[in-house]
Amino acid sequence: MSGTTDRLAWEDRISLRLRALYEQYGYGRYRMGKFEPYDMYLANRKFLKSETVITFTDPGGRLMALKPDVTMSIVKNTPDDAVSRKLYYAENVFRMAHGSMEYREISQIGIESIGCGDIYSEAEVLLLALKTLELISEEYLLCVGNMGFADAVFRSCGLAGDEYETAAEYIRQKNTGALAALADRLALDAERRRLLLTVASVSAPLTDAIRTFADLPLPEEAADRLSELRELGEILRTWGYADRVRVDFSIINDMDYYNGIVFRGFIPGAPRAVLSGGRYDNLMRRFGKRQNAVGFALYSGELSRKFTEEPEYDVDVLIVYGDAAPAAVHKAVVSAMSEGKTVRAEKHHDPDVRAAKTVVLGEAEVAGK
Amino acid sequence: MIRVALPKGRLGNDVYDRFAAIGYSCPELKGNSRKLVFEDAEKGISYILVKPSDVAVYVERGAADIGVIGRDTLLEYSPDVYELCDLGLGRCSIAVAAKNGWKDNTALPLRVATKYPNVAKRYYAAQSREIDIINLHGSIELAPIVGLSDVIVDIVETGTTLKENDLSVVTRIEESSARLIANKSSYMFKKDSIDAIVSGMGAFAE
């Protein structure tokens, strides 16, 4: 296919479609400045995915940081008396990539829904996450967990301090072997042991997951969180997304940041989650905000490698004009363009330029290589 | 198709035998071929043979869906993968070892030669012991003998190499054995096949 819209990079096309989607649902664009004083990140560095940010000194001698995160900036920007805010963003942030000692520029597209955090607003954010994935790939899965659920199970098993952190790490790794050893060390009874292992291993559609926990000794708090998940799942089912949602607690995240529901989006062939989000009332409180909030970000940069097809040609038509007069060259260019083609005019033939068709002015047309 | 990253060498061979026993054989792999990728489309499996310390990289980045790797390497690199089961093969310890009769001089930073710098740093940080890490890639035992380091942090299986070089274990830090790991995204989309392999492997556990 040729034509200008198809020639837009995959990332640009997706970005345009997603922005249209979010605007349809009434989300307004949030533009973020590229840098701000470092103090904020210093005070909240544990909330950042990587603790290092790029800093520099401004002419006034203040230490500034290139922004590593959009959500924090939106939280800070939220007026205390705002009833509700629905925002989307498409920004580049600067972070250290996992496992490397290098900074990366990472493009993030995401939404934040700030307000009372009722069930509809949560369901709407999940729906937009699903629609986001749907725009990217035919096949996709949204894994949903709940921080409060895991927390309640951990506490009912008597986990605290380092052991709590260790157990959370084992859940993230689905490391049932190590969890079983931990359960033995804690002398948990058989039912609680099975509960802890099930939290790690479960990865199933909502109804199956709920059945899995049915005969396990769920603490009240966990049972409440599970029925919230059931309620959300029911809404998503009526919207036609039951097959795309899976309950999986291995996606539990930083407890100081997220509280209720957390989720991650996967598409086949992308090695990590491409979308990540959840409810982050805890972060709001940390900044002294009373509103609740839920949102997600899509890491589109990681995807462009998967979706960018190596084009067969650099350009549809290559015009080699030699000594032809400028007016004649331009006429040939405009003529090819009027057929919806992309055109590149070169004085000499350049074998590195791959064209579907090469036109040599003043001579008969020759076929492209 | 499940893509498996196996570590080259004895461990990889032992693990392959288990895969073959549960129905994922690929006889070509056992031959003297110089090929790097072995595939049996009918059984829906392909194997790649890679350097043991690279298995995590292939799995984390999704070039393989699952892989087999020692816990020692997982502890060192902390890849973002699922650790689905302990295969019970390749058992060893990560230990601190020194020349026989060595005594720690706490007036000086401890010189630690290792190919597990992260494990060593974590261990000594927890002890509040200042260390000087010396990164080596092989023959770690040589370091204390020639005075390059005070101690080494390395894997110990039988302890024969240490004994022959007049060294002995000071402390065992961690126990290690081969683990089956999975890429987090692959697991979501190939859960049934991967779970079947995990339960098949579970049958070998004592």
pLDDT tens per residue, range A262-290: 999 999 989 999 999 999 998 899 888 99
More confident position, A285 or A10: A285
CA nearest neighbour of B180 among B21, B10, B1, B11: B11
Determine the residue among A165, A175, A306 to mutate to test chain B binding: the one whose Cβ has the most chain B Cβ atoms within 10 Å: A175
pTM of the full predicted structure? 0.86
Of A176, A267, A271, the CB nearest to B60: A271
The number of residues making up chain A comes to: 369
Min Cα separation B83/chain A (Å): 5
Residue A173 covered by a domain: yes
| Whether A58 and A41 share a structural domain | yes
pLDDT digits (tens, 9 = 90+) for B127-142: 999 999 999 998 999 9
- At residue A50, the pLDDT reads 55
Same domain, residue pair A157 and A274: no
Domain-located, residue A43: yes
- A108 occurs within a structural domain: yes
CA A217 to CA A192: how far, in whole Å? 7
Q: Within an 8 Å CB–CB cutoff, is residue B187 touching chain A?
A: yes
- The DSSP-derived string for A15-42 is HHHHHHHHHHTTPEE----SEEETHHHH
Residue in chain A lying closest to B190 (CA): A268
Distances in Å between the Cα of A46 and the Cα atoms of A263, B62, B126 are 20, 28, 20
In a domain, residue A59? The reply is yes
Would you state the pLDDT for residue A98? 65
Whether the predicted pLDDT of A49 surpasses 70: no
Q: A200 φ, ψ to 5°?
A: -75, -40
Is A109 among the domain residues? yes
Q: Judge if A304 and A330 occupy the same domain.
A: no
pLDDT digits (tens, 9 = 90+) for A36-45: 887 777 776 6
Residue A154 burial by CB count (10 A; 0-12/13-18/19+): exposed, middle or buried? buried
B185 touches chain A (CB under 8 A): yes
**What is the C-alpha R_g of chain A?**
26
Nearest beta carbon to residue A271 from set B78, B83, B183: B183
pLDDT of A196-227, one tens digit each?
Answer: 999 999 999 998 999 999 889 899 999 999 99
C-alpha separations of B1 from B28, B70, B200 in Å:
17, 24, 17
Closest residue to A173, CB basis, from B77, B82, B186: B82
Burial of B99 (0-12, 13-18, 19+ CB in 10 A): middle
Q: State the total domains in chain A.
A: 3
Residue where one domain finishes, among candidates A311, A332, A347: A311
Q: Does residue A259 fall inside a structural domain? A: no
A242 lies in the same domain as A285: no
- Beta carbons of B116 and B67 less than 8 angstroms apart: no
B188 contacts A141? CB cut-off 8 A? yes
The whole-number pLDDT of residue B112 equals 97
Which residue range is the domain that position A82 belongs to? 1-136+267-311
Contact across the interface for B83 and A250, Cβ inside 8 Å: no
Same domain, A119 and A32: yes
Q: How confident is the model at residue A368 (pLDDT cuts 50, 70, 90)?
A: very low
A165 and A276 Cβ atoms separated by less than 8 Å: no
What ipTM does the predicted assembly reach? 0.86
Comparing alpha-carbon positions, the chain A residue that sits nearest to B183 is A271
- Check if B202 contacts A (Cβ < 8 Å): no
Cβ count near A2 (within 10 Å)? 15
A82 and A125 inside one domain:
yes
Confidence of residue A7 (pLDDT cuts 50, 70, 90): low
Query: Do A163 and A96 share a structural domain?
Result: no
Residues 6+ apart with CB under 8 A from A161: none
In this structure, are A111 and A8 located in the same domain?
Answer: yes
- The pLDDT value recorded for residue A366 is 47
**Higher-confidence position of A335 and A367:** A335
Task: Quick: pLDDT tens for A120-159.
Answer: 999 999 999 999 999 999 999 999 999 999 999 999 999 9
Cα torsion through A109, A240, A209, A213, rounded to 10: 110
Same domain membership, residue A305 and residue A319? no
pLDDT in tens, B162-197: 999 999 999 999 999 999 999 999 999 999 999 999
Looking at the fold, whether A196 and A228 belong to one and the same domain comes out as yes
Residues A306 and A335 in one domain: no
- A145 and A228, same domain (yes or no): yes
Residue where one domain finishes, among candidates A311, A326, A347 = A311
Cβ atoms of A116 and A97 within 8 Å: the answer is no
**Helix-then-strand count for chain B, H and E:** 8, 11
Q: Cβ–Cβ of A250/B184 closer than 8 Å? A: yes
Among A174, A244, A305, the strongest candidate for a mutation testing the B interface, having the largest count of B CBs within 10 A, is: A174
Max avg pLDDT among A68-82, A339-353, B25-39, B127-141: B127-141
Is A262 a member of any domain?
no
Is position A223 within any domain? yes
Residue A189 CB neighbours (<10 A) = 11
Task: Look at B83 and A173 and tell me if their CB atoms are within 8 Å.
Answer: yes
CATH for A76: 3.30.930.10
